[in-house]
Amino acid sequence: MLIARALATSDAASRVAFGELVRRHQSSVRATLRRLTNGNDALADDLAQEAFVLAWRNLASFRDEARFSTWLYRIATNCWLANARKRKDVLLGDRGEDVEHDDDDEDAMSALGASVGDSSHATSLRMDMARAMRVLSDGERAAIVQCYDNDLTHEEAAYVLGIPVGTVKTHILRAKKKLKAAMADWAS
Amino acid sequence: MERQAMANKGDWLDAQLRANRPAPIADDGFAARVMAALPAATRALPAWRRPALVVLWALAAIGLALSLPDATLDVARQGYRLFTAIPVSVPQLAVAMVAAAVVMWTIAGYTLRRELVPAR
B88-104, pLDDT tens digit by residue? 788 888 898 999 999 99
Q: Is residue A116 domain-resident?
A: no
Q: Is residue B25 domain-resident?
A: yes
Q: Is residue A65 domain-resident?
A: yes
Q: Is residue A15 domain-resident?
A: yes
- Tell me whether residues B17 and A179 touch, CB distance under 8 A: yes
Say how many domains are in chain A. Answer: 1
Residues A156 and A138: beta-carbon distance below 8 Å: no
Low-confidence ranges of chain B (pLDDT < 50): 1-10, 118-120
- CA gap B107, B26 in Å, rounded: 48
Say how many domains are in chain B. Answer: 2
Q: Does residue B8 belong to the interface with chain A, where contact is any CB pair within 8 Å? A: no
- Tell me whether residues A186 and B12 touch, CB distance under 8 A: yes
Cα A78 versus chain centre, distance: 10
Q: Which residues in chain B touch residue A31, judged by CB atoms under 8 angstroms apart? A: 22, 24-25
Q: Is residue B74 domain-resident?
A: no
Q: Is residue A121 domain-resident?
A: no
Q: Does residue A166 belong to the interface with chain B, where contact is any CB pair within 8 Å? A: yes
Q: Is residue B56 domain-resident?
A: no
Q: Is residue A43 domain-resident?
A: yes
Q: Is residue B118 domain-resident?
A: yes
Q: What is the DSSP string of A98-138?
A: -----GGGHHHHHHHHHH--S-HHHHHHHHHHHHHHTTS-H
Q: Does residue B118 belong to the interface with chain A, where contact is any CB pair within 8 Å? A: yes
pLDDT at A114 (0 to 100): 46
Q: Does residue A128 belong to the interface with chain B, where contact is any CB pair within 8 Å? A: no
Q: Which residues in chain A touch residue B27, judged by CB atoms under 8 angstroms apart? A: 23, 26-27
- Tell me whether residues A164 and B117 touch, CB distance under 8 A: yes
Global ipTM = 0.74
Q: What is the pTM of this model?
A: 0.62
Confidence of residue A115 (pLDDT cuts 50, 70, 90): very low
Q: Which residues in chain B touch residue A179, judged by CB atoms under 8 angstroms apart? A: 13, 17
**Domain span at residue A51?**
1-90
Q: Is residue B42 domain-resident?
A: no
Q: Is residue B117 domain-resident?
A: yes
- Tell me whether residues A166 and B118 touch, CB distance under 8 A: yes
Q: Is residue A148 domain-resident?
A: no
**Domain span at residue B30?**
2-37
Domain at A47, CATH number: 1.10.1740.10
- Tell me whether residues A170 and B119 touch, CB distance under 8 A: yes
Q: Which residues in chain A touch residue B117, judged by CB atoms under 8 angstroms apart? A: 164
For A122-179, the pLDDT digits (tens) are: 777 778 888 888 888 889 999 999 999 999 999 999 999 999 999 999 999 999 999 8
